Structure 1
Amino acid sequence: MASRNPLSVILDQNKLTGPNYSDWLRNLKIVLVSKKITYTLDKASPKEAPVNATPDEMEKLEKWSDHNLQARCYMLASMSNELQRRFEETVEAKDIHIRLQELYGA
């Protein structure tokens, strides 16, 4: 069984419904900081690796992709079912974050 981040319990108890956006975002950031992946909310994805990419470039791209997936899953898992359906096809955590800010942010 995979180990679970104990802080993710915070997100289980504080699912995003819309009006609670600022509280949810604060809790999400606590969890993402503990995983050292908060940057995925603000930074754009790296450019696709060119055909002649170095191993270092490939590793950087794969690391970002893994971190983005992890952040996206935390976000979706901590939303109401309605919001999950709205964002389930959104690939980047940053895009979900931007759209939620537009909808519910200050």
Structure 2
Amino acid sequence: MSSSNIITPLLANEKLTSDNFIKWKSNMNIVLICENYKFAFTEECHEVSTAIAPKTAREKYDAWILSNNKAKCYMLASMSDVLRKNHEDMDTAYEIWASFQVIFGQ
């Protein structure tokens, strides 16, 4: 059984609403750290031209894109419909996270 099968119920059981941000944030941190996706919040994505970039740069870029997409999906799936509607058009998990810092004053 993969780790995501064990820990993602944390997110399903505690969907983000306007009054539980601290608990949701804690659960989100647990999931993203366990799944090794949290670096999408701390490392900037550097665009690379896949045609001319060195293999290591392409691999780092691909890893960041995967991490961002997974983190964004986890976040969107674990919030109320109203919050999801307001954040689903954001491109990065970091943008969603920064928006919550403003909304919830954290």
Give 1:105 deviation, angstroms: 3.0
- Does residue 11 in structure 1 map to residue 2 in structure 2? no
SS at 1:64's partner residue?
helix
> Hey, what does 1:27 align to over in structure 2?
27
> Hey, what does 1:69 align to over in structure 2?
69
> Hey, what does 1:60 align to over in structure 2?
60
More moved, 61-70 vs 50-59: 50-59
In 2: Cα distance, 1:68 partner to 1:57 partner: 16
SS at 1:49's partner residue?
coil
Give 1:19 deviation, angstroms: 1.7
Give 1:56 deviation, angstroms: 1.2
Give 1:44 deviation, angstroms: 2.3
Aligned length: 104
Which runs of 5 or more residues in structure 1 are unaligned?
A: none
Counterpart of 1:24, as a letter, is: W
In 2: Cα distance, 1:5 partner to 1:67 partner: 17
In 1: Cα distance, 2:68 partner to 2:31 partner: 14
In 2: Cα distance, 1:21 partner to 1:105 partner: 10
Q: Do the aligned partners of 1:44 and 1:94 also contact (CA within 8 Å) in 2? A: no
> Hey, what does 1:83 align to over in structure 2?
83
TM-score by length of structure 2 reads: 0.89
**Identity percentage of aligned residues:** 32
In 2: Cα distance, 1:15 partner to 1:42 partner: 23
Compute the RMSD of aligned alpha carbons: 1.7
Which runs of 5 or more residues in structure 2 are unaligned?
A: none
Counterpart of 2:65, as a letter, is: S
TM-score by length of structure 1 reads: 0.89
Give 1:65 deviation, angstroms: 0.0
